[in-house]
Amino acid sequence: MTQIDKAPWQGILPAAATPFNDKNQVNEAAMLALMERNLKEGAAGFFIGGSSAECFLLSHEERIRTFEIAAEMRGKAKLAAHVGALGTDEAIDFAHAAKRLGFDLISATAPFYYKHSMDAVAQYYMDIFQAVEIPILIYNFPGNTGVDFDLSHPAIQKLLTSGAIAGVKHTNRDLYQLERFRDRNPDLLLFCGFDEILSGAEAMGCDGAIGSTFNFMLPHYLKLWDACKKQDRDSVLSLQHSANIIMETIVSLGLIPSIKAILKMQGIDVGVPRRPFRPISKEQEEQIAQVLEQYLVQ
């Protein structure tokens, strides 16, 4: 069975955004500047090429390019690359690139759009692992993929104890399922993937968190994580409450566009998101700025 040293991963990992320049091309300098800032703030590592990176709006070559840029952080922080794709062959191609670039882990959403059986989903992960022999984080995001893992299914139970799976990025508000993943294999590395339930996920035994808003409010969440570890209930409730007011605001306006607008406010111009996302208006920027001023803890 694959054993992962959990200690270096225990903490907060930004799900890195993909910056674009004014020609709608990946902006290497901005991506590295953001990662360097997050590293100085205390990031335990980075999750590259996920939903926050607009992964499915990037070309095949652009996804690999973001891996290449992030690889400059090797030795400074742990790196996980999201390689999920509609087809196994493309996911394997991304996985080979991540291996070549020295990523510590890979991650993959379940194959979506077409409806696959649990047997097929399990085989998808096994095929990726067998092709590159890098442990995989299951990117469990049923709200977007439409794939709900059946943890009672024999193929999924076998997969979770096969050695192919390092852990789970649990982007699901179902904390019961998070605990059930750990029940199926106590050695799994479990990450909270929804920032707004971080404190609840930590209480249910997650090892760390991977999230989109950590790009711009990492110090706030590091304080929350520390309060969770100290079992400082008042601070936990206060910090999570403030974070969730911010989250509620930016989700109502568009999560990815809001994050990019905030990063520009903070001095790192990451451009605007890919269409069909719509950029944030000046009025919406003012609304966001007011909420951040009132609730963001630095």
Residue 4: per-residue pLDDT:
81
Residue keyed to tokens 């607008």: 261
Tell me the C-alpha distance between 164 and 107, whole Å: 11
- Which letter, b or e, does each residue of 84-121 get, where b requires 16 or more Cβ atoms within 10 Å of its Cβ? bbeebeebbbbbbbbbebebbbbbbbbbbeeeeebeeb
Torsion sign (Cα): 179, 203, 140, 210: negative
pLDDT at 2: 54
- Pick the catalytic residue from 139, 221, 223, 264: 139
Instruction: Retrieve residue 286's tokens.
Output: 């003012």
* CA dist list (Å): 289 to 16, 44, 281: 21, 27, 12
139 is catalytic: yes
Ordered DSSP codes for 216-233: HHHHHHHHHHHHHHTT-H
Q: Show the CA angle centred on residue 138, arms to residues 245 and 36, nearest 5°.
A: 60
- Where do the DSSP E strands lie in 104-207? 105-109, 136-140, 165-170, 189-192
Task: Point out the catalytic residue in the list 169, 223, 260, 264.
Answer: 169
In a 13 Å sphere around the CA of 103, the CA atoms on its Cβ side amount to 31
Distance CA 243, CA 296 (A): 7
Distance of CA 247 to the CA centre of its chain: 16
With contact defined as beta carbons under 8 Å apart, do 272 and 24 qualify?
A: no
Q: Is 103 helix (H, G, I), strand (E, B) or coil?
A: coil
Judge whether 161 and 1 are in contact, CB under 8 Å.
yes
Each residue's pLDDT, cut to its tens digit, for the chain (298 residues) gives 456 889 999 999 999 999 999 999 999 999 999 999 999 999 999 999 999 999 999 999 999 999 999 999 999 999 999 999 999 999 999 999 999 999 999 999 999 999 999 999 999 999 999 999 999 999 999 999 999 999 999 999 999 999 999 999 999 999 999 999 999 999 999 999 999 999 999 999 999 999 999 999 999 999 999 999 999 999 999 999 999 999 999 999 999 999 999 999 999 999 999 999 999 999 999 999 999 999 999 8
Task: Give the per-residue pLDDT at 1.
Answer: 45
The Cα 42–Cα 33 span in angstroms is 14
Whole-number Å distance between alpha carbons of 179 and 181: 5
**Rg of the chain over all Cα atoms, to the nearest angstrom:** 18
